[in-house]
A and B are shown apart, each in its own frame.
Chain A
Amino acid sequence: MLEFLWLVPLLPLLGFLLLVLLPLTKRAAAIVGVGSVGAAALLTLLIVVELFGLSSDAQVFRQIYWTWMQAENFTAQFAFYLDPLAAVMMAIITGVGFLIHLYSVGYMDEDPGFARFFAYMNLFIAAMLVLVLGDNLVVLYLGWEGVGLCSYLLIGFWYDSHANGYAARKAFVVTRVGDALMALGMFLLFLHLDTLDIQQLMANANDQWQTGSSLPTIAAALLLGGALGKSAQIPLQTWLPDAMAGPTPISALIHAATMVTAGVYLIARTHELFLLAPDIMFLVALIGATTLFISGFTALVQTDIKRILAFSTISQLGYMFLALGVGAWSAAIFHLMTHAFFKALLFLAAGAVILCVHHEQDIFKMGGLRKRLPVSFWSFMIGGLALVAVPLTSGYYSKHEILFAAAGNENSGQLLWLLGVLGAVMTGLYTFRLIFTVFFGEENTRVHESTVGLVVKLPLVVLCLLSIVGGWFVLPLDHVFPASEEQAISGITSLVTDVAPFVGIFIAYLVFHQNKALADAVVAHTPGRLLQRFWFSGWGFDWLYQKILVNPFMLFVRINKNDIVDSFYRLAAWLMRLIHRLFGLTQTGRMQWYVGSIALGVVLIVGAGIFS
């Protein structure tokens, strides 16, 4: 089956083309949209099974299609590279992608842009597959920009609202900052290592560069910039919460399960380069730990159900970066996978809730939905438990692997571990604040459950199962990543790590279920209110960027309204007009003037001829 690898991204791409070019009915659009991804998922399953059936040394498959571009000693082949890492990513993308497509059939049922939605979704899947399968950084970048484009299109899917368009542009511009850095990183790598083929690149880097020297550090930092933008890590995290303006399936697919993990994938893919730059590795861990900590607090005070989940996504991506930074590569990919399951589940369940309460997203206007929406409730419960890493759920295995790896890191591992554990407490707190507020307490909204059909429920059930059993797999990534040595974890560390989420849940139970007045009492005091407002704004990052980047830029734009560069060209135009007017003056229409000037001209020319 391996030789059919090319078909996997091609199927969703064909689906996209069909949906765009043909005026399909809604039913046909659903069949094409879901079917193409379903077929890709099936094919992926066969390919992955065959790949892992090979002996572990031979689990690499490369397919070269054509030479994409060539200039002097630069050659970019359009080629796919399949190894266990790419296979795992491929399985997540097509598998979770298929479930979300199926769900979307129910969710987007009444939307007039049904076919357009599936067209964008299919294009996204194709681009994401190109990203993870790309054999060289150019192909990877093609997919990278492709998913960015789809993200932009889908955030602004309901384009008639101004706010959605703004959110889409914000996401595009902020990630563009990272993308530009990444492009610079690619240029630097090519300049010094003469290739962009990832495997060759890593081999060359190992040969030519010393660990800790300046070149790999700069290159890794630039690639990290790209990863930070895509994966919404500090300081480029501000676009993700606003990206929730898109339809909920988009939030599940692009802004939780797949696209935002592209940064994690990029770093994992080029991990040998990062190993040559220990300073950047530490920076990755630090950024991850800070992000997970900060966005945990932000999630705690949000009121919009999707924004809570968005900040939670940023926080979980922070865990993955923490894992990458301490060299626990496979733990990062493991968490990426389990997170894709349970966060997709949470978003889809949230989408089902939002559908049933007439597109209300404020959690304080919901309440007591447990009895009315049992499927959503249990989905939320299982997804939430996996998110806070309660034992036996998938999140437990992956998150603990990360935290233990952090604790064992010799480079201020204790600090990283502490931030991670505090983040875990916060995770429990904000997740169960959400669950208690939405599903417990008294009912105060009208619910109509009829809108939730089987196509919505089925993906929820499957994802519930995956969220539980997803942690029981052992990802066969040993040959892709260098083995991390076993860390001796002290009993106390292990115990604290285990208990942390329960502390969060317990506090949430006290404050948001048992004694709701307590939360209001905290907020009633001035410091409490200020802190709440500070956290609510995402620690003021948006405000800061508005002040130091957007406002000066707007000021500059206002001053430079008549574009200084243009003035040069305007001068040329003005000069031409002046000369034109001067010559126009001579056109008097009086023949005798003409005759006179001709005579004068002849005299001058002849005179010049004689006297020169």
Chain B
Amino acid sequence: MIAIPVEHCLLLSVMLFCLGLLGVLVRRNIIFVLMSMEIMLNAIGLAFVSGGARWGQADGQVMFLLVITLAAAEVAIGLALVLQLYQRYRTLDIETISKMKG
């Protein structure tokens, strides 16, 4: 089994996280925002798993399982909210449905 250096894994994880963050920041369609958040979560999961592999401990994978569950729950609720929003506003653009001005 070829050992992948942990630095590579972490670098990939950071890049994925930044891509996800960028998506959250610039995307206007709420579906894409949700998808970008999934990418960020997976980036974090990758960092946990590679960390667990580096030190030979199961904690990292346990944490990843937790993140997956969290992501599933988040998507379920998020998509339900998106459906509601679409029914109410007939759009998924987050600029137009922003009502929480200070």
The reply to whether B25 and A595 contact each other, CB–CB distance below 8 Å, is: yes
List, in ascending order, chain B residues with CB within 8 A of A458's CB. none
List, in ascending order, chain A residues with CB within 8 A of B98's CB. 588-591
List, in ascending order, chain B residues with CB within 8 A of A590's CB. 94-95, 98
A464 to B: closest C-beta gap in Å: 85
| Chain A interface mostly | helix
The reply to whether A588 and B24 contact each other, CB–CB distance below 8 Å, is: no
The reply to whether A592 and B94 contact each other, CB–CB distance below 8 Å, is: yes
Complex formed: what's the CA distance from A599 to B24 in Å?
11
Stretch of A302-310, A528-536, A579-587 that contacts chain B: A579-587
Contact A586-B102, Cβ < 8 Å, known A591-B94, A592-B94: yes
Across the interface, name the chain B residue whose C-beta is closest to A593: B25
Across the interface, name the chain A residue whose C-beta is closest to B24: A595
List, in ascending order, chain B residues with CB within 8 A of A584's CB. 102
Question: A112 contacts the other chain (Cβ, under 8 Å)?
Answer: no
The reply to whether A588 and B101 contact each other, CB–CB distance below 8 Å, is: yes
List, in ascending order, chain A residues with CB within 8 A of B102's CB. 583-589
Question: B99 contacts the other chain (Cβ, under 8 Å)?
Answer: yes
The total of interchain contacts (Cβ-Cβ below 8 angstroms) comes to 30
List, in ascending order, chain B residues with CB within 8 A of A596's CB. 25
Interface size class of A (residues with CB under 8 A): 10 to 19
A554-594 residues at the B interface, CB under 8 angstroms: 583-592
Across the interface, name the chain B residue whose C-beta is closest to A586: B102
Question: B100 contacts the other chain (Cβ, under 8 Å)?
Answer: yes
Question: B21 contacts the other chain (Cβ, under 8 Å)?
Answer: yes
List, in ascending order, chain B residues with CB within 8 A of A586's CB. 102
The reply to whether B21 and A599 contact each other, CB–CB distance below 8 Å, is: yes
List, in ascending order, chain A residues with CB within 8 A of B25's CB. 592, 595-596, 599
Complex formed: what's the CA distance from A588 to B24 in Å?
17
A449-500 residues at the B interface, CB under 8 angstroms: none
Across the interface, name the chain B residue whose C-beta is closest to A587: B102
Complex formed: what's the CA distance from A514 to B26 in Å?
113
List, in ascending order, chain B residues with CB within 8 A of A588's CB. 98, 101-102
Across the interface, name the chain A residue whose C-beta is closest to B102: A587
Complex formed: what's the CA distance from A596 to B94 in Å?
15
Complex formed: what's the CA distance from A588 to B94 in Å?
13
List, in ascending order, chain B residues with CB within 8 A of A591's CB. 94, 98
List, in ascending order, chain B residues with CB within 8 A of A583's CB. 102
Across the interface, name the chain B residue whose C-beta is closest to A591: B94
Complex formed: what's the CA distance from A586 to B100 in Å?
11
The reply to whether A589 and B94 contact each other, CB–CB distance below 8 Å, is: no
B28 to A: closest C-beta gap in Å: 8
B45-101 residues at the A interface, CB under 8 angstroms: 94-95, 98-101
Complex formed: what's the CA distance from A583 to B99 in Å?
18
Question: Beyond the given A588-B98, A589-B101, A596-B25, could you list 16 further A-B residue pairs with CB under 8 A, ordered by the A residue number?
Answer: A584-B102, A585-B102, A587-B100, A587-B101, A588-B101, A588-B102, A589-B99, A590-B94, A590-B95, A590-B98, A591-B94, A591-B98, A592-B26, A595-B21, A595-B24, A599-B21
Chain A positions within 8 Å of B, measured between CB atoms, are: 583-592, 595-596, 599
* 26 A-B pairs with C-beta separation under 8 A: A583-B102, A584-B102, A585-B102, A587-B100, A587-B101, A587-B102, A588-B98, A588-B101, A588-B102, A589-B98, A589-B99, A589-B100, A589-B102, A590-B94, A590-B95, A590-B98, A591-B94, A591-B98, A592-B24, A592-B25, A592-B26, A592-B94, A595-B21, A595-B24, A599-B21, A599-B25
Chain B positions within 8 Å of A, measured between CB atoms, are: 21, 24-26, 94-95, 98-102
